[in-house]
Structure 1
Amino acid sequence: MSDRDEIVEVCTRMAVHADRREWDRLGEVFAPSVTLDYTSLNGGEPATLTPADIVGAWSGFLGAFDATQHLVANHLVTVTGDSAVCTASFQATHVLANRFGSPLWTLGGNYEFRLVRVEGAWRIAGVMMTVVWADGNKDLLALAAQS
């Protein structure tokens, strides 16, 4: 497989493993230290975490939804030696039955993945999410956090 194919694969696996609740496999896509930047959604500052930290947080938060679906497409990849950048479009739908409104909340935007080669395999060392649009019930975030 080419570097580009491997990079697209690992970025796709991040979404697939999270949506399928394959928490034991999710950690495999990350480098030992990962910078997550979700400030376009939540404000604050980017966080640097270990794969175990990410899996723990995402399994608690995303796992509280009835279902999620993260579609990642339009990958553009630039490789420079043992590092790479992959940009991609995303659409992320979150489903949670509730009595206070729509059970759906969907975001659309862009990811910028920063990757490094670790022991011969591409791993995600950074994710920056830029939200471009949203639709549905944003209150699902708070409801999921309470679960």
Structure 2
Amino acid sequence: MPAQKVDPADALQLAAITFDWAESLDTKDWARLGSILAPELTVDYTEVTGQKWDAMPAQDFVAMVSDKGFVGDPLVDSQHFIGASKYETISEDCIVGSHQLRAAHQRYTAPDKKIVEAKGHCHALMQHTYIRIGGKWKLGGLKPKMYWTEFDFDKIFKGGS
């Protein structure tokens, strides 16, 4: 069965969600991140952390990424570049988006951010699942497929709270 076409108006809304996802990570704006999430997410970080959650509450996802051992580390800056995107309608209320992604990261030695401790960049395809809830699209799932990394990606995140 061929993929169902996505309404262009829906695609614009999904692109805005994807932009807000990336920008919220890079600016550490956790309220903004929470505002685009479905109440429960499927999170498959098998290729990033080795973990997968089939039903993670949105507040737990925000807590995980905002943790000081992960993206919430004040010594880590990032920029998630979204390249081309492709959308596939799964059902009336579910669309999957595949997004080219380059996520640049830098870890600093101190809060003044004058000395770079490590650089680590990731090249991936990010699969987002979007769910329509009450007529509004929300991010309901994430699954990155890592292609390769540059520099010392393994030295960016220190892990743990």
Shorter-chain TM-score range: 0.7 to 0.9
- The 3-state SS of whatever aligns with 2:132 is strand
1:47 shift after superposition = 4.8
Shift of 1:18: 1.2
Contact 2:76 2:156 in 1 (8 A): no
5 Å-filtered alignment, 1:77-96, equals 77-79=87-89, 80-96=91-107
The residue correspondences of 1:1-147 to structure 2 (distance < 5 A) are 2-60=9-67, 61-64=70-73, 65-79=75-89, 80-98=91-109, 103-137=118-152, 138-142=154-158, 145=159
What amino acid is aligned across from residue 20 of structure 2 in structure 1?
R
> RMSD of the alignment, in Å?
2.0
Give the Cα separation in 1 of the matches to 2:55 and 2:76: 28
Note the C-alpha offset of 1:102. 5.1
Q: CA contact under 8 A between 2:105 and 2:121: conserved in structure 1?
A: yes
- Give a deviation string over 1:82-141, Cα, whole Å, max 9, x none: 110110110111111249x85211000101111110121111111110100101112222
Q: Which has the larger radius of gyration?
A: 2
TM-score (norm 1): 0.88
Cα distance, 1:35 vs structure 2: 0.8
CA apart distance, 1:48: 2.8
Indicate conservation of the 8 Å contact 2:43/2:52, yes or no: no
TM-score by length of 2: 0.81
Runs of 4+ displaced beyond 3 Å: 44-47
CA distance, structure 2, for counterparts of residue 7 and residue 110 of structure 1? 16
Paired residue type of 2:104: T
Give the deviation of 1:10 after TM superposition. 0.6
Cα gap change, 1:146/1:40 in structure 2, threshold over 3 Å: closer, same or farther?
Answer: closer
Gaps of 5+ in 2: 1-7, 111-115
- Mapped to 2, the partners of 1:54 and 1:68 lie a distance apart of 18
Q: Can you give the 5+ residue segments of structure 1 that lack an aligned partner in the other structure? A: none
Between structures 1 and 2, the one with greater helix share? 1
Letter in 1 for 2:83: A
Please give the secondary structure, in 2, of the residue aligned with 1:40.
Answer: coil
- Partner secondary structure for residue 8 of structure 1: helix
Q: Is the 8 A contact 2:118 2:155 kept in 1?
A: no
